[in-house]
C-alpha cells in the first residue's frame, strides 16, 4: 500500500525523514509531495534518502493512506471511481482511502459526514483514548507540551526585562514573576520553561493532586482551599461551582496583580472558562504579558482575541495565538511523525505493508470517527479495571459482600480494623526502644557511644527520607550510593577479623551494600537514559500521568 504525505499548506508535516524510514521498513511505499517538509526544515532529498518517492501533491492525496497534520476544511462530492475529474488537494481522496489527521471531529460534524459519504476511513489523532497503551499516539499531549514551552518563549520576547535576576556592577535586577493557571501538560511545560530561564514561578490548579507535580518542577503552589475540587477520577478538572469560582477569581486577582507574566491553560472539556477578568488586567502593571493558551476554546482572559496580539488600555500585552505548536515546526513535526508511525505500526502487525485495522481494538475504535460510509463518533466508553476499593468489596465467589460486612466498623476508615495496625506498630516501636536501651546499658562504655550514634542516625534518616517528595526518591537513591560505598569499605576492612561474629557481620554488610550500590547505579542509568535521544521512553507500558 502507498502512504501519501501531501503538502497541506502549513509549516508542519506528519512525516519526517526518520519516521519515513520506519514506514518504509514496515513494507509501505511512501509518497511525499514536493516541498511538503520544507516548512519544517526537511528537504525533498532527505525523504528520498529515507526511501520515499517525491511526487506531485495530487498524487500524494490519491494514495491508499493519506496523512496530514489537520483535516481539510471541506470536501467536494466524489465522482466516478472516487475521484472528481481533475481533482486536486483533499478532493483527490479516493473512495476507501484511510485518512490520518487531526480532525476536530467534535466541532466539525459536517466534515466527518463528508468523509463518511466518501467512504473514507478517518482516524482522528485528536481522539486517542487516554489510556496507557495509547500514550505513544497521544498527539494532543505532545502539542500541549510544545505550546506550553512556546508560550514562555513568546512571553519572553514581549516582556521588557530578563526572566532571571541579574547582579551587575551598576546594580541588581529582580527575577520576573510568572503565574501559571492550570497544571496540565501545557501548564507544567510552561512552569519548567519559565523556571529554567530563572523566573520565580507560582502556579495554581483546582485539582489538589497536582500540587506535588507543581512543586517537583520548582514552582510555588498557590493555595485556595475554597476553590479546590475533590481528587479527580480521570485527571481532568470539572466545572467549578459558584462558590469555587468566586474563590478562584479572588486568588487570580491577587496573583495577577503581582505577576509580570501570566500563562493561562484552563480548559474544561474544550471550553475555556474565564479566569482573568478585564478588571484584573486593569490592575496589572504596564508591560506585563498574558499568554492565553486557551484561546482556541475562546480564551481564559476577557480581553483575549483568538489568533491576535492585543494591548490593553494600561499597556498589558495579551497574546491569543492559536498556532503556538506551528511556530516550532521542526520538533512539532517530529512528534506528529512519530505518532503517525506508531499508529501505522499498530495496524501493521505482519510488517507486510498492508494496514489491517482491528475494529475491536479500543485504541483503533476510539480514533475511528468514520468508516464504511458510517459516522462512528462518539465511540463506546473504554472499559477500565474496577478500582481496588471496589474490587476489595467483592467476595470470593465474585459477588459483592453483604452490606453489613462492607460497612462494619472494622472495615471502615478509623474503625477498629484501621486502628489495629497503628497499635501494633506503636507496640513494636516501643518494644524496640526498650530492647535498644537495655543493649546500651549492658554494653561497655565505648560501645554505648556507638549505639547512641546508630540510634540517632536511624531516627534522623527515617524522618529525612519520609519527608522527601516522591518525585525525588530516585535522585536521592543516587546520593545514597556514596553512603553505601562507605559501608562497603568499612565491611571489607573488618573481613578477616579474629572474631567470627565481626567477620560474619562484615560479610553481610558488604553484600548488602554491594547490592544497594549496583542497584542504585542501574536505576540511575535507566533514569538518565530517558532524557537521551534514543533512550527508553518514559511511561512506555506504564500508567504514567499526563
- Helix (H), strand (E), coil (C) string for 444-510: CHHHHHHHHHHHHHHHHHHHHHHCCCHHHHHHHHHHHHHHHHHHHHHHHHHCCCCCHHHHHHHHHHH
Picking from 72, 69, 47, 62, the residue whose alpha carbon sits closest to that of residue 4 is 62
Question: How much is the pLDDT for 227?
Answer: 75
Q: Which of 22-26, 84-88, 459-463 has the weakest average pLDDT? A: 84-88
Greatest alpha-carbon span in the chain: 102
Strands 29-33 and 2-5: parallel
Q: Read off the pTM.
A: 0.70
**Of the residues 84, 132, 141, 216, which is catalytic?**
141
13 phi/psi in degrees, rounded to 5: -145, 135
Question: How much is the pLDDT for 501?
Answer: 85
425 against 415, higher pLDDT: 425
Over residues 96-125, the mean pLDDT reads 91
Question: How much is the pLDDT for 180?
Answer: 97
Question: How much is the pLDDT for 423?
Answer: 77
- Using 50, 70 and 90 to split pLDDT, how confident is the model at 545? very low
133 is catalytic: no
Q: Which of 399-403, 426-430, 435-439 has the weakest average pLDDT? A: 399-403
The residues that bridge with 173 in the sheet, in sequence order, are 166
88 against 273, higher pLDDT: 273
Q: Which of 41-50, 170-179, 265-274 has the weakest average pLDDT? A: 265-274
Q: Is pLDDT of 350 > 60? A: yes
Over residues 185-194, the mean pLDDT reads 96
104 against 265, higher pLDDT: 265
Percent of the chain scoring above 70 in pLDDT: 81
Question: How much is the pLDDT for 395?
Answer: 41
Question: How much is the pLDDT for 421?
Answer: 62
Q: Is pLDDT of 391 > 70? A: no
Percent of the chain scoring above 90 in pLDDT: 51
361 is catalytic: no
130 is catalytic: yes
H or E element: which one contains 79? none
Structure-block grid coordinates of residue 147 = 505550546
Question: How much is the pLDDT for 434?
Answer: 81
pLDDT tens digits, residue range 442-475?
777 777 777 777 777 777 777 776 766 655 666 6
**Of the residues 130, 330, 401, 546, which is catalytic?**
130
* Residue-level length of the chain: 546
Over residues 38-60, the mean pLDDT reads 96
Do residues 506 and 495 touch, judged by C-beta distance below 8 A? yes
Cα separation, 215 vs 201, whole angstroms: 10
Cα separation, 399 vs 402, whole angstroms: 9
522 against 280, higher pLDDT: 280
Give exposure, 422-433, as e/b (b: 16+ Cβ within 10 Å): eeeeeeeeeeee
Over residues 27-36, the mean pLDDT reads 96
Helix (H, G, I), strand (E, B), or coil: what is residue 527? Answer: helix
Q: Which of 36-45, 205-214, 236-245 has the weakest average pLDDT? A: 236-245
Distances (CA, A) of 341 to 17, 51, 336: 11, 15, 9
Question: How much is the pLDDT for 469?
Answer: 63
511 against 281, higher pLDDT: 281
206 phi/psi in degrees, rounded to 5: -75, -15
Mean residue pLDDT of the chain comes to 83
Over residues 299-320, the mean pLDDT reads 96
Question: How much is the pLDDT for 546?
Answer: 40
Question: How much is the pLDDT for 132?
Answer: 84
**Of the residues 7, 8, 91, 138, which is catalytic?**
138
Question: How much is the pLDDT for 540?
Answer: 39
Question: How much is the pLDDT for 529?
Answer: 73
DSSP character at residue 32: E
Question: How much is the pLDDT for 138?
Answer: 92
Question: How much is the pLDDT for 415?
Answer: 45
Picking from 301, 210, 201, 188, the residue whose alpha carbon sits closest to that of residue 261 is 201
Q: Is pLDDT of 81 > 50? A: no
Q: Is pLDDT of 87 > 90? A: no
Q: Which of 25-29's residues contact partners 24+ apart within 8 Å by CB, and which partners?
A: 25/351, 26/344, 26/345, 26/348, 26/351, 26/353, 27/348, 27/351, 27/352, 27/353, 27/354, 28/1, 28/2, 28/3, 28/65, 28/344, 28/348, 28/353, 29/1, 29/2, 29/3, 29/53, 29/353
Structure-block grid coordinates of residue 449 = 557511644
Specify whether the backbone of 149 is left (phi greater than 0), alpha (psi in -120 to 50) or beta. Answer: alpha
Question: How much is the pLDDT for 404?
Answer: 38
Question: How much is the pLDDT for 473?
Answer: 62
Amino acid at each position: 500500500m502507498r502512504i501519501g504525505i501531501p503538502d497541506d499548506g502549513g509549516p508542519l508535516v506528519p512525516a519526517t525523514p526518520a519516521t519515513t524510514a520506519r514506514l518504509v521498513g514496515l513494507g509501505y511505499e511512501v509518497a511525499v509531495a514536493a516541498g511538503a517538509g520544507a516548512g519544517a526544515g526537511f528537504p525533498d532529498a532527505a525523504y528520498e534518502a529515507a526511501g520515499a518517492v517525491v511526487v506531485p501533491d495530487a498524487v500524494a492525496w490519491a494514495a491508499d493512506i493519506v496523512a496530514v497534520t489537520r483535516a481539510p476544511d471541506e470536501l467536494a462530492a466524489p465522482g466516478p471511481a472516487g475521484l472528481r475529474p481533475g481533482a486536486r488537494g483533499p478532493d483527490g481522496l479516493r473512495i476507501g482511502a484511510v485518512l490520518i489527521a487531526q480532525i476536530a471531529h467534535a466541532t466539525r460534524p459536517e466534515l466527518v459526514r463528508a468523509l463518511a459519504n466518501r467512504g473514507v476511513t478517518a482516524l482522528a489523532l485528536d481522539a486517542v483514548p487516554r489510556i496507557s497503551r495509547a500514550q505513544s499516539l497521544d498527539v494532543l499531549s505532545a502539542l500541549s507540551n510544545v505550546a506550553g514551552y512556546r508560550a514562555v518563549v513568546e512571553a519572553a520576547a514581549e516582556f521588557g526585562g530578563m526572566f532571571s535576576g541579574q547582579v551587575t556592577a551598576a546594580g541588581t535586577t529582580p527575577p520576573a514573576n510568572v503565574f501559571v493557571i492550570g497544571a496540565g501538560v501545557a501548564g507544567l511545560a510552561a512552569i519548567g520553561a519559565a523556571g529554567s530561564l530563572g523566573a520565580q514561578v507560582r502556579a495554581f490548579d483546582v485539582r489538589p493532586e497536582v500540587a506535588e507535580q507543581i512543586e517537583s518542577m520548582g514552582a510555588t503552589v498557590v493555595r485556595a482551599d475554597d476553590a479546590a475540587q475533590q481528587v479527580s477520577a480521570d485527571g481532568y478538572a470539572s466545572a467549578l461551582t459558584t462558590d469555587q469560582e468566586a474563590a478562584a477569581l479572588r486568588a487570580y486577582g491577587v496573583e495577577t496583580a503581582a505577576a509580570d507574566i501570566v500563562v493561562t491553560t484552563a480548559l474544561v472539556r474544550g471550553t475555556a472558562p474565564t479566569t482573568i477578568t478585564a478588571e484584573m488586567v486593569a490592575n496589572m502593571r504596564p508591560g506585563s504579558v498574558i499568554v492565553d493558551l486557551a484561546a482556541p476554546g475562546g480564551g481564559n482572559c476577557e480581553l483575549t482575541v483568538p489568533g491576535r496580539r492585543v494591548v490593553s488600555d494600561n499597556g498589558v500585552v495579551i497574546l491569543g495565538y492559536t498556532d503556538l505548536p506551528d511556530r516550532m515546526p521542526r520538533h512539532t513535526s517530529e512528534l506528529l511523525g512519530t505518532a503517525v508511525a506508531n499508529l501505522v505500526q499498530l495496524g501493521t502487525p505482519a510488517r507486510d505493508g498492508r494496514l489491517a485495522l482491528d475494529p475491536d481494538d479500543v485504541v483503533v475504535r476510539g480514533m475511528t470517527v468514520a468508516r464504511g460510509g458510517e459516522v462512528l463518533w462518539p465511540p463506546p466508553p473504554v472499559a477500565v479495571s474496577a478500582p481496588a476499593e471496589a474490587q476489595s468489596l467483592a467476595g470470593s465467589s465474585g459477588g459483592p459482600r453483604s452490606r453489613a460486612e462492607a460497612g462494619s466498623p472494622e472495615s471502615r476508615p478509623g474503625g477498629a480494623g484501621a486502628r489495629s495496625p497503628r497499635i501494633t506498630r506503636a507496640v513494636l516501636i516501643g518494644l524496640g526502644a526498650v530492647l535498644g536501651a537495655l543493649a546500651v546499658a549492658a554494653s561497655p562504655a565505648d560501645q554505648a557511644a556507638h549505639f547512641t550514634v546508630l540510634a540517632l542516625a536511624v531516627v534522623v534518616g527515617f524522618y529525612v527520607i519520609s519527608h522527601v517528595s516522591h518525585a525525588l526518591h530516585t535522585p536521592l537513591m543516587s546520593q545514597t550510593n556514596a553512603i553505601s560505598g562507605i559501608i562497603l569499605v568499612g565491611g571489607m576492612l573488618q573481613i578477616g577479623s579474629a572474631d567470627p561474629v565481626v567477620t560474619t557481620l562484615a560479610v553481610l554488610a558488604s553484600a548488602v551494600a554491594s547490592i544497594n550500590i549496583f542497584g542504585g547505579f542501574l536505576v540511575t542509568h535507566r533514569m538518565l537514559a530517558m532524557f537521551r535521544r534514543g533512550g527508553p521512553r518514559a511511561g512506555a507500558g506504564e500508567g504514567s500521568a499526563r
